[in-house]
Amino acid sequence: MPGFRAITMGRLLRDTAAQFPENTALVCPESGVRETYSEFLDSCARIAKGFLAMGVKKGDHISVWTTNVPEWLHLQFGLGMIGAVLVTVNTNCKSHELEYILRQSDSTTLIHIEEYRGTNFSQILRELVPEAIGADLGKIRSNRFPFLKNVICIKDKKQSEDVMCFDDIVRLGEAVSDEELRNREMSVDADEVVNMQYTSGTTGFPKGVMLTHRNIINNAFMVGDVMGMTKDDRLLIQVPLFHCFGCVMSSLNCVCHGSTMVVLHSFDPHKALEYIEKERCTAINGVPTMFIAILNHPDFAAFDLSSLRTGIMAGAPCPEETMKSVMTQMHCPEITIAYGQTESSPVMTMTRRDDPVDLRVSTVGRLFDGIEGRVVDLETGRELPPNTQGEIVTRGPCVMRGYYKMPEETAAAIDTEGWLHTGDLGTVDENGYFRITGRIKDMIIRGGENIYPREIEEFLYRHPKVKDVYVVGIPDEKYGEQILASIELKEGQKATAAEFENFCAGRIARHKIPKYWEFNAPIPLTASGKVQKFKLAEEFLERRKK
């Protein structure tokens, strides 16, 4: 499509480093890392060479299970340089979810940190992939994971010798020439897949969304252009890099515009305040709950946030008072709202920096130039007139390649004319501003995390006392939605919420563990016997009032 860039991750990084070699690219205070774009390119190239030395081929899938450590960013661009595919793994994942992703993605390599928030990643892997312990490079042979050849830990090698150390891979790359790396880079095409994100989507278990260099680079350019990003901007990255909010709207956005990435390992409101002041950040991205936590921190008034100018609030509806407070108390008059989904790389629409506050809280903005979007009738697929509710669909160069190894699901999401069906209900007004009014399917969005009930239901069916189970979203002021599990127990059985919470702990991600539990509650049905999940939620709320 004219006006859109056919550029690879490697070419983009080299162009930016050539244009702004001495501009600060990456600041990660928790890791003691501060790199110019010239140094950042060098770090990414060393990692790229290391994976070439390992024998990684174009199209190989490399899973990354870490927080926002510097190595994540070096891998994002280093793997892109050699045409490998970075498979993002949520740090909230436990053994059940990790096993699914590694198997479904056909990953050849897994890179991980030691632990996070009390979850020992290394221990989980020792149980899932015992064959990795002591295995030489490329020598893992696992019946459970037939494609997996390497497990690599980002740590000090002195701590343990049980799996390969990340630094060893970098050292391997010293034997690879610049020419060999450049030859591989030249073979990479902008329309090849570079990133695979697992999303719960609308049916079944999580699906691997295949995103190309063209998809995400163009999206990042458009996002940053709306924000007004330049080489003089410094973006606080506190959202997880394993989501598109982190690795497209944040890190890739910065590299597209020569801006500085100021990175938190994970969200911490006090550290956010500290780094905004110390690093003179001009932009900040986050879900509404992050902004609320920062604004309500007891030390908020002690920090100078006057350097801030802009940012993005996305992932959940923004309360009007929060938006006003961010604009005034946080000195972010140009804060924007973004809407989209992983399948659209991810942003479709954004409010503009000069839009009035009411548009920034009541709408999700308007389309990017060159991105098509409309609201269509659910039955006929025909475009609807302004201010009429229907399904939001989009088309253009940011629509995903498809779901990995799921052709039927891909065909259901992208129609024969190339329109991606979002599954979201909404309207668009005469000025092109979209509003979200609901979701066709029953996906739950808790604190910006997409949660598909079927996945949790399938897991809870494993409990020996469960006869039937239905999972729905319940409105929540802080997180947008919380999870209710309504369980029908087998005859003669009794159960408690604590029992089921213990059953889930350590086996599914914390954000997927239901907050509310009901046992043997009435299940509302249609005349044909189908469960009415929306009524299940309504009746639960009515019972709580009594």
How is the chain split into domains, by residue range?
A: 9-328, 373-395+418-437, 444-545
| pLDDT higher than 50, residue 201 | no
How does strand 444-446 pair with strand 449-451? antiparallel
| pLDDT higher than 60, residue 178 | yes
Closest CA to 85 of 76, 73, 93, 98: 76
How far apart are the C-alpha atoms of 157 and 167, rounded to whole Å? 8
How far apart are the C-alpha atoms of 140 and 88, rounded to whole Å? 21
| pLDDT higher than 60, residue 109 | yes
Could you please report the per-residue DSSP string of 507-540? Answer: TS-GGGS-SEEEES----B-TTS-B-HHHHHHHH
Mean pLDDT, the chain, integer: 93
* 8 A C-beta contact, residue 428 and residue 391: no
* Distances from the Cα of 343 to the Cα of 269, 400, 525, angstroms: 30, 5, 32
- Reported as a single tens digit per residue, the pLDDT across 400-423 is 999 999 999 999 999 999 999 999
Looking at domain 444-545, which CATH architecture does it have? 2-Layer Sandwich (3.30)
How far apart are the C-alpha atoms of 367 and 375, rounded to whole Å? 12
- 468: exposed, middle or buried (C-beta count within 10 Å: 0-12, 13-18, 19+)? middle
pTM, full prediction: 0.87
Predicted local confidence at residue 316, as pLDDT: 74
Percent of the chain residues past pLDDT 90, beyond the cut: 79
Cα diameter, the chain: 73
Strands of 434-439's sheet in order across: 372-376, 390-395, 420-428, 434-439
Predicted local confidence at residue 445, as pLDDT: 86
- Reported as a single tens digit per residue, the pLDDT across 6-31 is 999 999 999 999 999 999 999 999 99
Closest CA to 257 of 279, 281, 232: 232
Which pair of tokens denotes residue 80? 């892109």
Give me Rg for the CA atoms of the chain: 23
Q: Which CATH number fits domain 9-328: 3.40.50.12780, 3.30.70.100, 1.10.10.10, 3.40.50.1700?
A: 3.40.50.12780
CATH domain 373-395+418-437 topology: Luciferase; domain 3 (2.30.38)
Closest CA to 422 of 349, 493, 488, 365: 349
Predicted local confidence at residue 449, as pLDDT: 86
